[in-house]
Structure 1
Amino acid sequence: MLVILALALLPLLSRALDMGQVRQLAVRYNVTAILVFGDSSVDPGNNNILQTTMKGNFAPYGRDFFNGRPTGRFCNGRLATDFIAEAIGFTKQVPAFLDPNLKPTDLLHGVSFASAASGYDDLTANLSNVLPVSKQLEYFMHYMIHLRKLVGEKKANDIIRRAVFVISMGTNDFLQNYYLELVRPKQFTVQQYQDFLVSSMSRDIELMHGVGAKRLVVVGVPPIGCMPLVRTMMGQTTCVESYNKVVVSFNSKVQKRLETIKAALRMKIAFVDVYGVLQKAVSHPMLYDIKETAKGCCGTGVIEYGETCKGLSTCTDPTKYVFWDAVHPTEKMYKIIADEAVKSLSQELAS
């Protein structure tokens, strides 16, 4: 049944269906919620209340969000998970679980537990004093308690069983941890560290499955060698291929492990090739009506992100850019990634 819904979402994303039709399908086929775990690619503002410098709750972040409001999203507008939720018909934005203004009814269609600067490796999160996956899962357990109080245990369990779980992280494990800090390189070769991260991911998925997760979307790591910040740090004007090769290898290992998990746990798991999406945009920008692929829209575009982007001027038209700051994609690219996520999910559900 969900196959029909997922396939119906595809023409919606190209404006062939209106929102009303898709929302009717979402109700008819019992799509319940979207539950998100990860890093800044899917954090809508959980870090706002943490004692960390990894925040984006100030201008120019949110420039193109509703009412031009900075929410903590490291983007000029919405994230891929926001677009997925809107397509399914729940809400135009996935709220942060730690948002003090979160309403009980917001819990019904899902929330994000993600924390910018987090990763599969708990050490990655600890370096920036943000939420490791273990803590995100702990908050998920709190979410389940609140949900049961709101709708009862039977309905709460049904919501979880029919929800789509999303995991999006891994970038910080390499950029902010392995390639900058001394601990992990002394313990692991880069290949061994990839295996360590894949094992950590497996553990997280098994824990999610243990509390009712049946449907999962895993977002791969993007081409970090193409990020403006990385190009600047490495003194290159083109993508740093050595970094990209590591990401390609890691994503391949993730996909192989997901196939094993699918068979063992009988879960529906879709992999989103965000590497391919961004690499295509960087290599063939004209396909997306993009003009700038090497610089972000904020400040000089080559080094600023997070606090160093605070209060800076921005480009005139972010839709012509792949990157919003020196690390994170623009809202336009997140929309394209959301399209890919829906396609991947529909293919998995049809299998």
Structure 2
Amino acid sequence: PPLYIGLKPTLPAYLNPSVKPVDLLTGVSFASTEGGLDDGTAMMSLTLTMDKQWSYFEEAVRKMKSLVGDSETNRVIKNALFVISAGTNDMIYNVYDHVLGRFISVSDYQDYTQQNRSVYPVLFFLRYFINTTENDKKKIGNLINETINPKCPSHPHHRICTENQNADSQLYNQKLQKLNFRLSQRLSGSKILYLDIYTPLIDMIKHPHSYGLEETLVGCCGTGLLEAGPLCKPLSRTCEDVSKYMFFDSVHPSQKAYSVIATYAFKKLFPLL
């Protein structure tokens, strides 16, 4: 959680009307539900493209400069931690969806997103700081690329983890680690870290009782097999004790699971920052 690094308990969405310019100095989220690295993913899910998310970031920077000036804004950004969590929706919409999917080869699509889109955040930051000094340009903040999650798709009456899609996730993550290494070599002075969230999630599925969990294949909301996101409404039936569930709905981890991931990330990555 953000509290681990001295931030506010949650990072509000940038587009939340209640967010004020001063809130930008301690972090906000520019993410868009069901979006991805691939603009095609956002178009199919009717969410914000990565380009649009970056445009909001630039807008936020202008607001910060108006509030505290150029020097302080640049200091905040250069010392900020940027987390990029994407990839799962890209695979779902463009490969596994047999109706909407644009790619047949899993490996080809992984290469496409990583070679053409995963480096985009880094290139964006380089462009953004193009007018800074050479020494400053090498330090563009800390970027964390997260892994693709394990896949446990729902069936009409039960849920299972599919080995082929989990193998795809592991292959994607292996390629991402190599890409991060190459980028780190090229951008001396920057820190581009790889956050493995696949491992703690799959360990929770295999060893639930080690984490105080009792249910790892069914979500807490509704049937736990089909509902996700907006389909889980205030009047939807929920489980009695969500802390015993790994998933809140059919797709998204519960607060308990996210806490496990956050603790794992804190121990693995923050000593490297």
Alpha-carbon distance, 1:183 to partner: 4.9
Q: What is aligned with 2:15?
A: 98
Report the residue type matching 1:126 in the other structure.
Answer: M
| 3-state SS of 1:165 partner | strand
Report the residue type matching 2:102 in the other structure.
Answer: R
The whole-number CA distance in structure 2 between the counterparts of 1:290 and 1:215 is: 33
Q: What is aligned with 1:142?
A: 59
Matches within 5 A, 1:113-262: 113-180=30-97, 181-185=99-103, 189-199=105-115, 200-212=117-129, 213-224=140-151, 226=152, 230-232=153-155, 237-262=159-184
Q: Which runs of 5+ in 1 are unaligned?
A: 1-82
Alpha-carbon distance, 1:343 to partner: 2.3
CA-based RMSD:
1.6
Report the residue type matching 1:287 in the other structure.
Answer: S
Alpha-carbon distance, 1:307 to partner: 3.0
The whole-number CA distance in structure 2 between the counterparts of 1:282 and 1:183 is: 28
Does 1 or 2 have the higher relative contact order (CA < 8 Å, sep 6+)?
1
The whole-number CA distance in structure 1 between the counterparts of 2:21 and 2:100 is: 43
CA contact (8 A) 2:147 2:198 kept: yes
Alpha-carbon distance, 1:232 to partner: 1.6
TM-score by length of 2: 0.90
Alpha-carbon distance, 1:347 to partner: 4.2
Q: Which runs of 5+ in 2 are unaligned?
A: 130-139
User: Residue deviations 1:198-236, cap 9 Å, x none?
Assistant: 121112222124325321111111102x2xxx1327x86
Q: What is aligned with 1:8?
A: none
| 3-state SS of 2:113 partner | helix
1:347 to 1:260, Cα distance in 2 relative to 1, 3 A: farther
Q: What is aligned with 1:323?
A: 247
Matches within 5 A, 1:29-68: none
The whole-number CA distance in structure 2 between the counterparts of 1:115 and 1:268 is: 25
Q: What is aligned with 2:132?
A: none
Percent pairwise identity: 38
| 3-state SS of 1:120 partner | coil
Report the residue type matching 2:222 in the other structure.
Answer: G
User: Residue deviations 1:120-156, cap 9 Å, x none?
Assistant: 1110011111111111111110011001111100110
CA contact (8 A) 1:164 1:216 kept: yes
User: Residue deviations 1:156-196, cap 9 Å, x none?
Assistant: 011000000000111111113321144522xx511010001
The whole-number CA distance in structure 1 between the counterparts of 2:271 and 2:91 is: 30
The whole-number CA distance in structure 1 between the counterparts of 2:162 and 2:67 is: 50
